[in-house]
Structure 1
Amino acid sequence: ALRWIMKPVNWLSDGVSALGEGNLEHRLPEKRGDELGNLARAFNRMSESLKEMLNAREQLLLDVSHELRSPLTRMKVALEFILANSYQESLQSDVQEMEQMVTEILETARLKSEYGKIDLQPTDLVLLIEQACLMFEGKAPGISFENSAGKCVGLVDVEQIQTVLKNILANALKYSAPENEPIKVRLSRDDSGIQLEIQDYGQGIPEEEMDLIFEPFYRVDKSRNKKTGGYGLGLSLCKTIIEAHGGTISVKSSMGQGAIFLLLLPNSSSTI
């Protein structure tokens, strides 16, 4: 009799744990006709409602993003014909920011979908990182690259990893003062995989908010205006890309001491 009662209780406990981990596909057996059976059916209805609500929210975001692309393109063309004045640069910056946001929304959704495959190719990571650093040449406080991995290959999607490097380096420069030490980029490799550290010496991130910066549109400093900005979708997209490669991304920081982003990618089968 006790087992008859405890079994559905254990099912419910497993279901709550699965739901808490984000598994909205988990369902409980609905065989019983008593109160525990009613509870299982109510749990399943709740899970289905949550799934539908989240799917609808994601679809709305995608639909809005798709609809924004055409008017943004027209705005860019129109701006080319506006005579140079004090407003043109500001308008162009606004359009570029919106266009980048739309691109990041659509790319994040693509990578999370069943069609979101990445194109893994053996790639010289040293060259890839050097090219990313060159994109920010001349911007204070500068970037230095330290390679202790030697010549190495990583099995990566070049375009996606370029996006990750560009986002993190851009943030590091944005939150660093010109008089700070240069941003340090360190590449290393061991049996656990390929490690890439990107360290800045800027304002840092509050400890209680470090996990939240990978959430879409999260702003560490709520008081920042649009010019200073937040992390937008950039770091959320970075996390999605790195995880699609089977890797991880994390951050360490202290206020006033800057931040270190650590990317860990799986080892490929060989080195070059």
Structure 2
Amino acid sequence: MPTRYGRYVALGDSQTEGVGDGDDLTGLRGWADRLAEHLARANPRLEYANLAVRGKLARQIRAQQLDPALALRPDFATVVAGMNDLLRPTFDADEVIEHVEAMFAALTAQGTAVATLTFPDVARVIPITRPIRGRITAFNARVRAAAERHGVLIAEVGHHPVVADPRLWSPDRLHCSPLGHERIADAFAHALGLPGSNDTWTLPLIPALPDRGIVGMALAEVNWVATALVPWAMHRLQGKSSGDRRVPKRPHPLPVGDVISS
């Protein structure tokens, strides 16, 4: 793929929106904003739009973001969808991959270069999700196959040990921290072969975290259940989504420096 693009459009959910990297008062940054900055070093005139909205399932991303993305005529796009589906008990792999592949197909058919990523084993970050680790592995394999069929580039984020480092995750463990978003942007830049990129994003953080011991780990789990899992579960039971009544933060292509300043 070329390393010089004129217009980049990001499609996705909360990770692509940038949740965990900034806040709604100061503004969200996130890996897609950071990747746009990488791309702008190769082409300072790059225009960037971000259509992602937190909480969206793959079918909603396809229904609400694909047509606007196509209308913007990007020459580069990222499509990251499916994690919200994977975390639900009603997960249907066939349905989700159909929506993801449809987005790959529509964008590449228009001549857009597309990139995506593989998901990490969330059980390494959230131990109680061990029952779904098999579906994540299988889903990643199907994303790879769909990407190969459509010439979509993949940033292989999922299998590197560093992704389990708590410092790459926000306190809710569902969203990346600023450092985690930075690593994802670097992973995309490396996959794209952008000038100055390399594989240092795969390396462990230094210094290593001290061993918290069994008691420390148990207390951390109890705190996480109370402050993150229970509120998340209550929203699901009430049929609410964090993306309700939200709109994309950057629906129109603008020069990167016009909005991203953090």
Fold shared by both chains (TM-score > 0.5): no
Rg larger for: 1
Please tell me the TM-score bracket, short chain as reference. Answer: under 0.3
Higher relative contact order (CA 8 A, sep 6+): 2
